[in-house]
Structure 1
């Protein structure tokens, strides 16, 4: 971490300076041998300054005698002017993209006043029940655009402009460009929970239409009191894989699956937390690796590009336990077995941890990893590879390799592969190249679900340079076709494998596609012809564990959808749709103050609404604006917009499948 005692006004143009009258003349400052910060510190010490070596968050202003006329106070910004810890950091893994900003906890409260970071104007306001929710785009005089998302409300003048646009267009979801001006420190907006999640502030800084930057590196207050945490190391060559816990890493040992061989691949699992209790794992700013004194890998996340968001899957390798703490960071460097390496990890508040290690065949302090979560079938994803949970052989599962005609190639894979080691399916294909299916069987006592298993895993091997696939297979009674374009070319030389199987659950059956998180620069076109179930297709959110309807899908017998990422899919018959509950009075925030509002719950198992304009509220012929709160699912109507108690109001909701639900009720008394 750079020492923050730099004072640029005292830099000298000479390469080396030896003495100043009446100062520490024995100190030699050499710009050719020192980095910029060390050189600046050296000059300051020559002039007699006592350097402040404390953490930058506690750094006071430079001594008055060292401040020149050209000195400019560094930019600083505290959105709330009160302590608010980070809950998500810049560059965090969000599945198909990096997190473009930072999130602050507001202690489960809404309505915290947020102050303007600089002089500027409101470029745009958008109101939506999803995504950023109520969001403000504020353009400062610096040219940066500050984005404040998930707001509960805006200042009264801006709220009035929003209401005018809603009434004029009879739309709940609106966008306005008010051009309202604010000075630095003015109350700008109020925090909330619109869009999704618990009350918090999402803040991001956009430099232009493509580039975004870390607010923490600009001088925005980022409270983070805990250094990053390493959970483990994975090393592989091809489909030979070894895992090492941080306990062994701390003793300087990392296991390698092959002895004294080059071209090793490595990934490090890391998370950062801002405070105790450790509830919200965050991303890191910097990851660097040295071989002796030679830096062989460096990744610093101070800026991001929207155009390059898909690169996330080349850098953060997807794992089935991706919804637990941390990410697997791929080290894109050539690694050899007989060297000493030093790892350095830094978070966005400047906390640094270091590890020094060598590769060994085994490490005495090494422990075990749990590689799956929420996983019923023995097929899972780890390090962006399709994996087989061969450890289930210990509990009575049996696995057989089959060819394209479902004829047995090997009837007992449990006898072939080590149960104690992770098993990429690519390794099975390397051993038995004709493998196109893996059949797994188990009785009810082995599965632990109360019923036995007899299922197929369909397998499609492909090479590292293959960028398109046209694959047709059958799993159970379902015929599945996949056309894929824009497959990323990877440096990993191992046999790559796509895999799909059926997951049978108590509530519904669905199809798992692996490796999870695999994204394409082109498209994934998948069709499922399921004679037992021809209902519409839904996709499973990996962290929410909720099913979401594909808005754009074709066919009735042969259901087809298009996206750019492998997802789990299910045919879901949702006959009940959305039902409208009973209204009740509560309070909601408007302009930073609480006002009476009528709230009406919506109930559904799967069906959702596409946007806020799918809700229509009328009192007779009078249109009334309404807000949809997606968590919990409720319609919110301001009391001032409603007629007197006893008057009749009609609500109509159109769900994602274009089905309409209507209900009339009398406005209750407060």
Structure 2
């Protein structure tokens, strides 16, 4: 049975949309309360300076205004769409270089050209940007559209020809097709990573990413940034301030009797921005400025990110293993004297501004604790990009001892020395300079945390631990140290769980312009090394690692590492018929789930589909792990296709399945 039901989606655009792109529709005509939702209507009025008496939502002590560098002139869809991610957002090891628009969990929204230009490149992949289009505009800037379901019919035709000519699923082409402003470029989707949405970037010829909001892209955001917590840092000490105390214009300093001690402190603020209610998908901020009285003492405005500076994220955003993951800890690289009044200004990419006034005090009325852990079974955690010990567990009858290199116990009761609170390992190293182990446990169950103290300002480290049953060595180059003027410490411990035993390395979020190389002896690491995704909680095999008397791998950030002996190859689930979008047209597609525990596929080219000797293009959707085959390319019902798979551990499998009926 041949598959022939086609449904056209996304025509070239309505007369209204073409009028909009042609400049014949005024902004006043756009703001239609009857057709827009409340958020879009208020934003539209605010963009033209019209007040309604209600205004956008504003955080405490804040004001709202539109301050982006260019007025709105481009909506990728020719319609309202809210941001789900913003420029400069924290993406773990890098900054987010664009903005994400919600497509309301729908695929196929038409994406229009922002200006006259030419498609310079198109790529396909099951990961990262998925199907991505690079559009070189007449302005000289390149607009990047990622996660597309398909391209325009003319482009899709070239893409499929390249795939079948090369017999590759992942390809890159340079079609050099010209488009006018308002022409249909592509159709939004969910290829690569994530639910249906559009990722939009603007790049310059000298390899810099620009905020699309500052380049005239629609950036709807009705909620001002929220400042939810503060942390004051002095060498190896920290004091935290909750939202309740911040609202009283107070920040706690770790320095006691600060009226007699003028030692300045560093401060980090936890800040979150949402685009609208309900509050989902926390985003980044555009501007962070701190004033001492009326003098500006710190300023960060993020409208441009050089591609080469993506790894500088940890100079400004401090990593934290916390239960409340909304927002980021922004480090302010300025020393704050205690006897002053300060004003913090935070602006999002829609121009909404929150202002917070504060001063430093030994105690703040209404201050309360807040969660600082997530997915953590050991008391060794990372907070504010420093390794820390969770001495709150002292309340649960845990004991903690500091032990020196010679095995001598330096302190048998760290709970008494430091109190039942989160304590940086740098503080323990400062108090007990000879400490290289912390032994902890409850009852007779004792475990060990291994630590080494680095010299202040160290940019590299070389550390080997030999214990009774293992040997682990680490080499680090290019450490960033701007955010830590205390005692720098590296640490690791074993984490024993029901499903897997592994090593935790800390501090998480300590990135390197060089690399981190870790080697584990072959007796301890009998199988290949895997690293743990901190947000996905999935294990991923190191694509490059050495074997022999020891196993070694390297990356640019400390990770949790396990040795996993996985011989299971990916298997296939039950195939079923659904739709896929090709050239903007819904077409029947056969979807086949791909099932695996640890080892997925490295690329779309790791999957080969044939009907006899005939090669068939296969799209792999990494979320929700499905192989997608265009129905028109398949043999008739009951005839067989063969699917060959090579996983990331180089295991190979082949499956023959009959084409099911529709």
TM class, shorter-length: 0.7 to 0.9
The residue aligned with 1:39 is: none
The residue aligned with 1:97 is: 94
The residue aligned with 1:365 is: 366
Q: Using CA pairs below 8 Å that are at least 6 residues apart, which structure has the higher relative contact order? A: 2
Q: In structure 2, how many angstroms separate the alpha carbons of the residues matched to 1:603 and 1:416?
A: 51
C-alpha change, 1:461 and 1:587, in structure 2 (3 Å) is same
The Cα of 1:466 is off from its aligned counterpart by 1.4
The Cα of 1:476 is off from its aligned counterpart by 6.7
Contact kept, 8 Å, 2:571 with 2:594, in 1: the verdict is yes
C-alpha change, 1:349 and 1:453, in structure 2 (3 Å) is farther
Alignment of 1:259-298 (within 5 A): 259=258, 260-298=261-299
The residue aligned with 2:396 is: 395
Q: Does 1:534 align with 2:526?
A: yes
The Cα of 1:474 is off from its aligned counterpart by 3.9
Q: Deviations over 1:371-411 (max 9, x none)?
A: 11111100001111100001101101110111123332211
C-alpha change, 1:74 and 1:453, in structure 2 (3 Å) is same
Q: In structure 2, how many angstroms separate the alpha carbons of the residues matched to 1:406 and 1:577?
A: 46
Alignment of 1:182-581 (within 5 A): 182-258=179-255, 259=258, 260-321=261-322, 324-419=325-420, 421-443=421-443, 453-474=445-466, 477-490=469-482, 492-529=484-521, 531-581=523-573
Secondary structure, counterpart of 1:551 in structure 2: coil
Higher Rg: 1
State which drifts further: 456-465 or 283-292: 456-465
Q: Deviations over 1:7-60 (max 9, x none)?
A: xxxxxxxxxxxxxxxxxxxxxxxxxxxxxxxxxxxxxxxxxxxxxxx9786344
The Cα of 1:653 is off from its aligned counterpart by 0.3
Q: In structure 2, how many angstroms separate the alpha carbons of the residues matched to 1:212 and 1:84?
A: 22
Q: In structure 2, how many angstroms separate the alpha carbons of the residues matched to 1:453 and 1:147?
A: 54
Q: In structure 1, how many angstroms separate the alpha carbons of the residues matched to 2:637 and 2:44?
A: 58
Q: In structure 1, how many angstroms separate the alpha carbons of the residues matched to 2:313 and 2:525?
A: 35
The Cα of 1:311 is off from its aligned counterpart by 1.3
TM-score, reference length from structure 1: 0.87
Q: In structure 1, how many angstroms separate the alpha carbons of the residues matched to 2:477 and 2:386?
A: 19
The Cα of 1:301 is off from its aligned counterpart by 0.6
Q: In structure 2, how many angstroms separate the alpha carbons of the residues matched to 1:361 and 1:378?
A: 27
The residue aligned with 1:146 is: 143
C-alpha change, 1:560 and 1:140, in structure 2 (3 Å) is same
RMSD value, Cα? 1.7
Q: In structure 2, how many angstroms separate the alpha carbons of the residues matched to 1:354 and 1:255?
A: 18
Contact kept, 8 Å, 1:116 with 1:188, in 2: the verdict is yes
Contact kept, 8 Å, 2:72 with 2:218, in 1: the verdict is no
C-alpha change, 1:55 and 1:653, in structure 2 (3 Å) is closer
The residue aligned with 2:62 is: none
Q: In structure 2, how many angstroms separate the alpha carbons of the residues matched to 1:491 and 1:283?
A: 19
C-alpha change, 1:257 and 1:90, in structure 2 (3 Å) is same
The Cα of 1:95 is off from its aligned counterpart by 1.1
Q: In structure 2, how many angstroms separate the alpha carbons of the residues matched to 1:146 and 1:152?
A: 17
Query: Which of 615, 618, 624 matches 2:610?
Result: 618
Unaligned runs of 5+ in 1: 1-53, 63-72, 444-451
Secondary structure, counterpart of 1:416 in structure 2: helix
C-alpha change, 1:521 and 1:574, in structure 2 (3 Å) is same
Q: Deviations over 1:632-654 (max 9, x none)?
A: 11111101111112222111000
Secondary structure, counterpart of 2:457 in structure 1: coil
The residue aligned with 1:158 is: 155
The residue aligned with 1:179 is: 176
Secondary structure, counterpart of 1:436 in structure 2: strand
The Cα of 1:489 is off from its aligned counterpart by 3.6
Contact kept, 8 Å, 1:456 with 1:475, in 2: the verdict is no
Q: Does 1:169 align with 2:166?
A: yes
Contact kept, 8 Å, 1:475 with 1:501, in 2: the verdict is no
Secondary structure, counterpart of 2:435 in structure 1: coil
Contact kept, 8 Å, 2:338 with 2:360, in 1: the verdict is yes
Q: Deviations over 1:108-129 (max 9, x none)?
A: 1111111110011111000000
The residue aligned with 2:34 is: none
The Cα of 1:249 is off from its aligned counterpart by 1.4
Q: Does 1:127 align with 2:128?
A: no
Q: In structure 1, how many angstroms separate the alpha carbons of the residues matched to 2:376 and 2:466?
A: 22
Unaligned runs of 5+ in 2: 1-41, 51-69
Q: In structure 2, how many angstroms separate the alpha carbons of the residues matched to 1:476 and 1:364?
A: 50
The Cα of 1:422 is off from its aligned counterpart by 2.4
Contact kept, 8 Å, 1:549 with 1:607, in 2: the verdict is yes
Q: In structure 2, how many angstroms separate the alpha carbons of the residues matched to 1:61 and 1:300?
A: 24
The Cα of 1:250 is off from its aligned counterpart by 1.6
Q: In structure 1, how many angstroms separate the alpha carbons of the residues matched to 2:649 and 2:469?
A: 26
The Cα of 1:82 is off from its aligned counterpart by 1.9
The residue aligned with 2:656 is: 664
TM-score, reference length from structure 2: 0.88
C-alpha change, 1:61 and 1:468, in structure 2 (3 Å) is closer
Contact kept, 8 Å, 1:129 with 1:612, in 2: the verdict is yes
The residue aligned with 2:586 is: 594
The Cα of 1:84 is off from its aligned counterpart by 1.1
The Cα of 1:289 is off from its aligned counterpart by 0.5
Size of the aligned set, in residue pairs, is 598
Contact kept, 8 Å, 1:216 with 1:222, in 2: the verdict is yes
